[in-house]
Amino acid sequence: MSVDQRLDFAGIAATLSNVNNGPVEDTSVYAYRDPRDNQLKIDYTANPRCYSAAEVAGHAARFTHFFGALAAHAGRAHRRHRLPAPR
């Protein structure tokens, strides 16, 4: 979903929508810019046969926290960042 979602056909605007990212065997993370508000969006998807809703929410929260720490300290060596331990 990392493509620009705005389309223009000779002045007729359209929006690209992703119908399906395909089956997810384990987990997938999609990061993209939303053209409606120009904000970074992160979608975290997991196989429901492998993870409960609570587990998915926990993984997504830890990933978002880790990604935010990387962005906040972009000049710092990445090996110094630690992924929060599962709760």
Global pTM value: 0.57
- Count CB neighbours of 46 within 10 A: 20
27-34 and 12-15 as β-strands: parallel, antiparallel, unpaired?
A: unpaired
Report the b/e string of 13-34 with b at 16+ CB within 10 A.
eeeeeeeeeeeeeebeeeebee
Residue 85 lies in a domain: no
Residue 1 lies in a domain: no
**Confidence bin at 79 (pLDDT 50/70/90):** low
| Residue span of the structural domain in which 42 resides | 6-76
Residue 34 lies in a domain: yes
Most confident of 14-18, 68-72, 80-84: 68-72
* Residue 81 near residue 70 (C-beta atoms within 8 A): yes
Q: Is 11 exposed, middle or buried (0-12, 13-18, 19+ CB in 10 A)?
A: exposed
Please check the confidence at residue 84 and state whether its pLDDT lies above 70: no
pLDDT digits (tens, 9 = 90+) for 11-53: 877 776 666 666 778 888 888 777 778 888 888 888 999 999 9
